[in-house]
Structure 1
Amino acid sequence: MEMDDAYQNAAHIPGGDGYPDKWAAAAAAFRHDATCETDLYYGESPRQVFDLFHPARLSKGLVIFVHGGYWLRFDKSFWSHLAAGPLAAGWTVAMPSYDLCPDVRIADIGQQIMTAIATIAERVPGPIRLIGHSAGGQLIARAAVPRPAAGWQDRLEKLVPVSPVADLAPLMQTTMNADLRIDAAEAMAESPVHLAAPRAETTVWVGGDERPAFLAQAYALATRWECRQVVTKGEHHFSVVEALAVPDSPLTAELLAEVRHGRDPAP
């Protein structure tokens, strides 16, 4: 199917199939040396757990990273090393896992992530910064949409969706949808491009060498929410998020930068 290719990343990245093994090894090595608590429960299922990484000094606040994988694959254990950038700057970092499709729907995963954020926020004081990659970008964006019951949103300073799937409708035309089971109602309800912008400052981040579909998705979200967008030269869908592991990378700097007053104007 044409739309399958549009959202296929590994096939268009040299050595793309080897990235998951590389991430898992780097993450395991990082956990071995880090000060961390693992497999803390926020829900009832075995996958509703999070890891919490502590900085060497008094924490400046909380960074929560939500992983991608088209809501179908991966868990927190692949991404631990991405905590390195925020940790070096003195932030506590949390990484939740969540149940996967087809066992649950995308809307169910969204509810799990909101529960995870609320649970983690009760445990870690201070300002909150959210960052998510690909499907994780959709999940943090959906969680940040203003709602009265989300008290932690008063502490949310910054939101960075990286290469987000901001509009679910195109995925209805992919073979993945046999497991995702997205219908028109869910696409409307769960797509950030159809929802109100967060009160927190938002930067949409995407690699310049990504598939055109992801460049279009990022542009659509930045336009709809009238927020800042950054397109990084030479980065593809897998490499773009790896910069979070580097303390002085532009991505880490953007996530942790002092917030401007309110949301950014349109670029």
Structure 2
Amino acid sequence: MSQDTLDDAYANAAYIPGADAFPLRWAETAAAFREGMSEAGAAELNIPYGPSARQRFDLFLPEGTAKGLLVFVHGGYWLRFDKSYWSGFAAGAVQAGWAVAMPSYDLCPDVSIADITQQIAHMIPVAADMVAGPIVLVGHSAGGHLVARMCVPGVLPETVAERVVRVMPISPVADLRPLLRTSMNDAFKLDLAAAEAESPALMVPREGIAVVVWVGAEERPVFLEQAAALAEAWGCPCVIDPGKHHFDVVDGMAEVGSRMLARLLPDL
């Protein structure tokens, strides 16, 4: 498959009507959510977890004692976005009684994908020290890759890894090898060894973590293939969400009664 063909295969916005409006909508909803949570004294913003300016996370707290910690890791092909776009997607879990941490991280080409993996692995213990109880990890697209990487033994500190009970990679990129032949690799600078070393679909997850892969039925075929590959490799369920594309597949995180949250937090 040629570079142009692969670039098209991994292009989401070109195949989503009104794609340009989604980031603005996310950002507006996120700002309103942060303002409301801050006014209620239920938000701690820009908590540092590393030395760079982007290594910060926001923590949103429920009423009363949190049932545990949910970490949501955003996507954007490791190239774009930050936590400020995604705050609104904490709403469902917060209403369900969970504390939600949302990190930013450094982006390619300033750092490598492996560096970003390590940043998220450093962030989760900082948030875990602030909230007791079980830990649930959720990530969208590149964030789906990152939370899947957290399932691999040796990535998180053992005391933190033992608390991780459920992980949901949403529309993840689980096998990075195809990206070697895309124009995005000009920023990723992956070679085959690096791509393999960052591909959860080529790895074995830690025992005791319930993993559910989630993907939209209307996504680009490669994302359906990526989701299926991770689910097959890890022997876990893959939920194909009817009518959802790459940009709205994550909407269920904002709705306390959604199918997504019912699957993610059914008995916790």
The interval holding the TM-score normalised by the smaller chain is over 0.9
Q: Which residue of 2 aligns with 1:263?
A: none
1:131-150 per-residue CA deviation (whole Å, 9 max, x = no partner) reads: 00000000011112122843
Q: Which residue of 2 aligns with 1:105?
A: 112
Measured after TM superposition, the shift of residue 253 of structure 1 is 1.2
1:115 aligns with 2:122: yes
Q: One-letter code of the match for 1:215?
A: L
Per the alignment, in what secondary structure is the counterpart of residue 39 of structure 1? strand
1:165 aligns with 2:173: yes
1: distance between equivalents of 2:71 and 2:157? 19
Stretches of structure 2 that go unaligned for 5 or more consecutive residues are none
Measured after TM superposition, the shift of residue 69 of structure 1 is 0.2
Measured after TM superposition, the shift of residue 254 of structure 1 is 1.2
1:10 aligns with 2:17: no
1:151 aligns with 2:154: no
1:250 aligns with 2:259: yes
Identity of aligned residues (%): 54
1:113-169 per-residue CA deviation (whole Å, 9 max, x = no partner) reads: 000011111111100000000000000111121228432111111000000000001
**TM-score normalised to the size of structure 1?**
0.95
Q: Which residue of 2 aligns with 1:132?
A: 139
Measured after TM superposition, the shift of residue 58 of structure 1 is 1.3
Q: Size of the alignment, in residue pairs?
A: 259
> Which stretches of structure 1, 4 residues or longer, exceed 6 Å deviation after superposition?
none
What is the root-mean-square deviation of aligned Cα atoms in Å? 1.0
Measured after TM superposition, the shift of residue 257 of structure 1 is 1.5
Question: Which one of 63, 69, 76 corresponds to residue 83 of structure 2?
Answer: 76
Q: One-letter code of the match for 2:136?
A: R
Farther off after superposition, 215-224 or 191-200: 191-200
Question: Which one of 199, 215, 218 corresponds to residue 191 of structure 1?
Answer: 199
1:237-260 per-residue CA deviation (whole Å, 9 max, x = no partner) reads: 00000110011001111111227x
Question: Which one of 213, 217, 224 corresponds to residue 226 of structure 2?
Answer: 217
Measured after TM superposition, the shift of residue 97 of structure 1 is 0.5
Q: Which residue of 1 aligns with 2:183?
A: 175
Q: One-letter code of the match for 2:55?
A: Q
**TM-score normalised to the size of structure 2?**
0.95
Question: Which one of 199, 214, 230 corresponds to residue 205 of structure 1?
Answer: 214
Q: Which residue of 2 aligns with 1:230?
A: 239
Cα pair distance change 1:122/1:166, threshold 3 Å: same
Q: One-letter code of the match for 2:262?
A: A
Q: Which residue of 2 aligns with 1:265?
A: none
Measured after TM superposition, the shift of residue 233 of structure 1 is 0.4
1: distance between equivalents of 2:102 and 2:261? 16
Q: One-letter code of the match for 1:11?
A: A
Stretches of structure 1 that go unaligned for 5 or more consecutive residues are 260-267
Q: Which residue of 1 aligns with 2:250?
A: 241
2: distance between equivalents of 1:186 and 1:230? 29
Farther off after superposition, 213-222 or 177-186: 177-186
2: distance between equivalents of 1:198 and 1:229? 18
2: distance between equivalents of 1:198 and 1:246? 29
Farther off after superposition, 144-153 or 199-208: 144-153
Q: One-letter code of the match for 1:166?
A: A
